[in-house]
Amino acid sequence: MTWTLSQSGSQTTGTLGTEYTLATDTNNGTFVIAADLSAMNNGSSGTVGDLVELRVYTKELSSGTGPIQAWKGTYQNAQINGIKISPPIASDQSLQGTIKQVSGSVGRSYPWKFLRI
C-alpha cells in the first residue's frame, strides 16, 4: 500500500486571527495532515513571536452536523521540529484541516498536505 497525496498546497497567513481552511476532503480513508511550520520564528525585542494553531475537523454521520473539531495543536515561536503531523484520522464523510496564526509576523507561508491511505 502506498500513500496518496490527497490534498496539498501552501497557505499564507495574511491576517492574524483568521482561520484559513487548507482543504476539505470527502475521500474515504485514513488521513494524516502534515504542515511545515519551519518558517515560524521568535519575536524580536518588543514584538511577540509567531503562534499558530492547526485544527482537524471531521463529520460523524452523513446526516449529521459538521465539521466538528477532532484535534488541535498550538505551536509558538521557532520550532525544533518544523513538520507537524496530525494523529491519523479515519474518515468516511469529510475531513477538514485549518491553520490560524494568532500572533507574530503576518504573511508567513506554510506548505501543507493531506496524506491518505
Partner 1 sequence: MWFTNLIDTVIPSLSRNTAESSMTMLQAGGFPLGWEVCRGSSWGAVANTTGLTTINSGTAPNTKGSWTVLANASATTTDVCWMGVQSYQFGMNAGTYSNSWAFDIGIGTSGSQQVVVNNLINSGSTGSQCIIRGEFPISIPANTSIWARSQSGTGNVTSGLVGIHLYDGAFTEMEGAAGVDSIGWNGSLSQSTQLTPGTATNTLGSYVQLTASTTRDYMGIFIISECFMNNGTGAGQQFGYQYLVDVAIGASGAEQVILSKFWFIRNGGWMGPSTSGFVPIQIPAGTRIAARSQCSSVAAGFKEFGIVAYGVYQ
Residues engaged in binding partner 1 (CB under 8 A): 1, 30, 32, 51, 54, 71-77, 80-81, 83-88, 90, 117
**Least distance CB 28 / partner 1 (angstroms):** 13
Beta bridge pairs of residue 76: 51
What's the closest the beta carbon of residue 63 comes to partner 1, in angstroms? Answer: 25
The grid cell for 117 is: 491511505
What's the alpha-carbon Rg for the chain, to the nearest Å?
15
- DSSP assignment letter at 91: E
Cβ distance to partner 1 smaller for residue 63 or 98:
98
Given a contact cutoff of 8 angstroms between Cβ atoms, the answer to whether 51 and 66 are in contact is no
Q: Which is nearer to partner 1, 83 or 106 (CB)?
A: 83
C-beta of 30 vs 63, nearer to partner 1: 30
* CA 4 – CA 6 distance, rounded (Å): 6
Taking the complex as a whole, the smallest distance from the CB of residue 76 to partner 1 amounts, in Å, to: 4
